Amino acid sequence: MTLSPRILPVVVIALATAACDSTRSADVDRANGPLNVIDESNLNDIMLTAASPEEAVAYFQRAYRENPARIDFRRGLAASLVRAGRADEAVPHWLAIVEGDAAIEQDRIDYAGALIRSGNWDEAERQLDQVPPTFETYERYRLEAMVADSNQEWSRADSFYETAVGLTTRPANVLNNWGYSRLTRGDYSGAEELFLRAISYDPDLFTAKNNLVLARAAQGNYQLPLVRLTEVERAQLLHTAALAAIRQGEVDVGRGLLAEAIETHPQHFEAAVRALNALETEVRG
């Protein structure tokens, strides 16, 4: 634990005094205790947000194994397992947490998120239904929108997505999800608008750029959108547009886009080369 220059002399003096006078040891313990708690709490937060997913899992596995009564360690373990793409392993931990006496509403939200990631949509919906309507958070409405989407309840999904967007200052991902929902419904122009909004909040969100190309291609527009792109991104999006054109019967357009993708990519673009070769082979056959 690293202490600031102001705190260090106080701790040294307290420890030195305690060594001379055992009657003051309890006071020293009380003085140091809060520092340890604060430091540990900060470390938990750091592991959940800044450490690599597997490092966080290892940290919380060890902490929970040594202190199984600490619900914060079990929460950290469950959350880090989800972050590491191991939602199936996280589900039993979240279940135990929500069934315990110390559970809070956010635990049920996080449990529902793990259930969705593991493919258990029905149970996720049941868990979300148990959250009081007064508990209004971005994460709650984002998950509600996804569940409504899975049930093809489009009006409810739109309402939940709109609410979620209004509850965060970083709505790019939820706008991208909303746009994909519109894309699957066949509302291509609505999807295009939402993907553009997502990119305006996060210009580096490649999934939204790729989805935007799909929405435009579905409307017969194979030109790349006027958004910030690297050379690699431009080549990848040209490849996406080419495949969309070919699927829609625009083979010549697709062939030209594949050739452009290969020329644009700064390295060898194997996927585009394979697609173009397969197309030429089919034509010759």
The string of pLDDT tens digits covering residues 89-112 is: 999 999 999 999 999 999 999 999
**By percentage, how much of the chain surpasses pLDDT 70?**
84
The domains located in the chain, with CATH, are 53-124 (1.25.40), 136-221 (1.25.40.10), 229-285 (no CATH)
The string of pLDDT tens digits covering residues 162-207 is: 999 999 999 999 999 999 999 999 999 999 999 999 999 999 999 9
Question: 205, 199 in Cβ contact below 8 A?
Answer: yes
CA distance linking residue 138 with residue 225, whole number of Å = 29
Torsion angle of C-alpha atoms 217, 219, 223, 228, degrees rounded to 10:
-80
Q: What is the mean pLDDT of residues 116-136?
A: 96
pTM as predicted: 0.80
Amino acid at 237: L
H helix intervals, 84-230: 87-98, 105-117, 121-129, 138-150, 154-166, 172-185, 188-201, 206-218
What local confidence, expressed as pLDDT, does residue 173 receive?
A: 96
The string of pLDDT tens digits covering residues 59-78 is: 999 999 999 999 999 999 99
